[in-house]
Amino acid sequence: MIDAIDANAEPVEDFTELLAAQPIERLERDGTHYTLLGTAHVSKASADAVIALLKIETFDAVAIELDAARFQALKDPDSYKKLDLIEVFKTGKTILVAANLALGAYQRRLAEQVGIEPGSEMLAADIGASKLGLPTLLIDRDVGLTLARCRCALGFWGGAKLITGSALSVFSEDEIAPEEIEKLKTGDMLRSTFGDFANESPALFDALISERDEFMAAKLRELSSEGNLKRVLAVVGAGHLAGMVQALKANSEPPKVVIERVSAKPKPSMWPKIIGWSITLILIGGMVWGFHKGFDQGKDQLLIYLSMTAGGAFIGAMLARANILSALAGAVSAPLTVLHPVLSSGMFSGAVEVWLRRPTVHDFEALRVDLRDTAGWFRNKVSRVLLVFLLTNLFTAIGIWITVFNYVYKWGAAALQHVF
C-alpha cells in the first residue's frame, strides 16, 4: 500500500508473525468494521504493529487513545517553552503544570531504560494516517475530566494519598523498577502512573478504566456514524481492549447518551468551602476574642497570626531557594492573602522570582534534562519558580493550621478555667 510510514522506523519483514503476537480484536457494529489493536506504551513491537496494519489493510480512519491535550503534548513535546508563568499563577494551573513536567521527566527516564518513548505507537498511528490521507480520530475522554472524576471517586483523603504516592514515584531518582515497566506493558499510561491505587479502589477503577472504555467505544461509534466510515483502525492500550469490545458489542444506548453520562463533571464538594470559611472565622474570631480580653492578649493573638503566616511563607520560599526579595514578598503578602479567596502568597513570591530571575529560552530548553533529578528542579529557573510558588503556599498553609490550633487551644483552656 505504501513503502514506508515512518522513515525512522526499522523495516518490518514478517507482518504475519508480528501481528500474530499482538492482541487484535475485530468486530462490526452499525455497518462499520472495527479493528482494535491493543498496544503497550513502551513497546517497539506495538509501534511496528501499527505500521504493519496500515501497510497491509485498508481503513477509512485511524482512532487513537488520546484526548486533544495529550495529543498536542505528544506531537509538540516542547510546547512548555511557550509557558507564561505569571498566567499559570493567575489561572491556578501551577500544580497541573508542575505535574505535567514531572510526568514528562518520568517518561524520559523510562524511555532511556527501555529504548522507546512512551506513546510511540500513538504517534506512529497519527503519522501513518497522515501519510495515507486518513483522518486521526481522538477518542479518549479529556484527561482533566478523568482526573476530576477520579478525585471525586476517592474523596479527600484518598485523593491526597493518591497524589502523594504518585508524586513520590515520579520525583524519585531511582531506576524505574522492572515490575513498573511490566505494568506499562498492559497498555495504559494513566493507570500505570497511579500504580496499584486503581486495583485497590473499585470507584477509582471505574473512573479511570471502565468509564473510559465506555467513552471510547461510544466515541468510535459516534465519529464513525458522522463520517460514514466503514473500516476503522483503533489503537488503544491493551488494558482497554476487553472493555471496549464488550461496550461495542453490548451497549444499546445511543453514543451521545453514553458520552454525556460518563462526561458529567462531578459536583464540587462543599467541604473545602466549609473548611475554608471555618478557618477564616476562627482566625478572625481569635483576634477579636483576644482584644476583647485586653490589648496585650489581642496583640499576642495578632503576633501569632502574623509570625506563623509570614514566617511560613518566608521559610517555604527559601526552601525553594528563592531570592531573598521573593521570599520577603511572600512573607509580606501572606497575612493578607490568607483572608482572600483568590490571591495567595505564592503568587507574590513567584511573580517577584520571575521578575528577578527571568527564565531564558535556554532554561526552557534545558527542562527536558534538568527535571530528571531533584537538583535539576532547583537549578532550572522555570521549575524553581514553580517550586517557589508551591512551597510558599504549602508553608503558609502550615502556618495557618498552627495558628488555628493555637487559637482553639487557648479558647478551650479559657473555657475550662471558667468552668472550674
Counts of helices then strands in the chain (DSSP H, E)? 21, 5
pLDDT at 5 over 60: no
| Greater model confidence, 392 or 43 | 392
Of the listed ranges 10-14, 60-64, 134-138, 139-143, the least confidently predicted one is 10-14
Could you tell me the pLDDT band of residue 114, with boundaries at 50, 70 and 90?
low
My answer on whether 258 and 303 are in the same domain is: no
Better-predicted residue by pLDDT, 161 or 57: 57
Residues 168 and 59 in one domain: yes
Residues 254 and 276 in one domain: no
For the segment 120-131, the average pLDDT, to the nearest whole number, is: 91
157 pLDDT above the threshold of 90: no
Residues 193 and 293 reside in one and the same domain: no
User: How large is the average pLDDT for residues 18-30?
Assistant: 90
For residues 104 and 197, state if they share a domain. yes
User: Residue 313 has what pLDDT?
Assistant: 96
Q: What is the pLDDT of residue 338?
A: 85
The residue type found at 108 is: R
Per-residue pLDDT, 2: 40
Report whether 5 contacts 123 (CB < 8 A).
Answer: no
Residue 143 lies in a domain: yes
**Is 314 among the domain residues?**
yes
Half-sphere exposure of 254 (CA within 13 A, CB side): 4
Task: Please report, rounded to a whole number, the percentage of residues in the chain having pLDDT higher than 90.
Answer: 38
| pLDDT score of 146 | 83
Per DSSP, the three-state class of 234 is strand
Which H/E stretch holds residue 29?
strand 24-29
Mean pLDDT of 94-101: 67
Residues 240-284: pLDDT tens digits?
Answer: 898 999 999 988 899 999 999 999 887 777 777 888 888 889 988
Q: Which amino acid is at 211?
A: E
Mean pLDDT value of segment 8-33: 78
Specify if 6 maps to a domain: no
Confidence of residue 65 (pLDDT cuts 50, 70, 90): very high
**What would the pLDDT profile of 209-251 be if each residue is shown by its tens digit?**
889 999 999 999 999 999 999 999 999 988 889 899 999 998 8
pLDDT of residue 11: 47
pLDDT over 70 (residue 130): yes
Domain-located, residue 194: yes
Does 130 lie in the same domain as 248?
A: yes
Q: Which three cell numbers stand for residue 173?
A: 531518582
pLDDT of residue 39: 86
Choosing from 262, 297, 326, the residue where a domain stops is: 262
Predicted confidence at residue 107, as pLDDT, reads 64
At residue 253, the 3 state secondary structure works out as coil
Q: Are residues 248 and 357 in the same domain?
A: no
Contact 236, 65 (CB under 8 A): yes
The C-alpha cell that represents 197 in the structure block = 491505587
138 φ, ψ (degrees, to nearest 5)? -95, 115
Q: Are 93 and 232 found together in one domain?
A: yes
Q: 346 in a domain, yes or no?
A: yes
Note the pTM of the prediction, 2 decimals.
0.68
The verdict on 219 and 323 lying in the same domain is no
In a domain, 376, yes or no: yes
Q: Are residues 258 and 367 in the same domain?
A: no
Does position 331 have pLDDT exceeding 60, yes or no? Answer: yes
CA–CA separation, 401 and 414 (whole Å): 20
Q: Specify the number of domains making up the chain.
A: 2
Q: Which of 217, 236, 262 lies at the terminal end of a domain, its last residue? A: 262
For residue 25, which phi and psi values (nearest 5 degrees)?
-120, 140
Q: Whole-number mean pLDDT of the chain?
A: 81
The verdict on residue 1 lying in a domain is no
Confidence of residue 167 (pLDDT cuts 50, 70, 90): low
Neighbours of 284 (CB within 10 A): 12
Domain span at 354 = 271-419
Q: Is there a single domain that holds both residue 84 and residue 221?
A: yes
Q: What would the mean pLDDT of 38-59 be, rounded to a whole number?
A: 86
7-21, 283-297, 341-355, 375-389: segment of lowest average pLDDT: 7-21
- Residue where one domain finishes, among candidates 209, 236, 262: 262
List beta partners, residue 63: 137, 234
Tell me if 8 is assigned to some domain. Answer: no
- Measured distance CA(236)–CA(213) in Å, rounded: 10
What is the average per-residue pLDDT within 173-196? 52
Shared-domain flag, residues 174 and 300:
no
Tens digits of per-residue pLDDT, 73-93?
Answer: 788 766 666 666 777 777 776
3 versus 91: the higher-pLDDT residue is 91
For residues 187 and 173, give the distance between their C-alpha atoms in angstroms, rounded to a whole number: 23
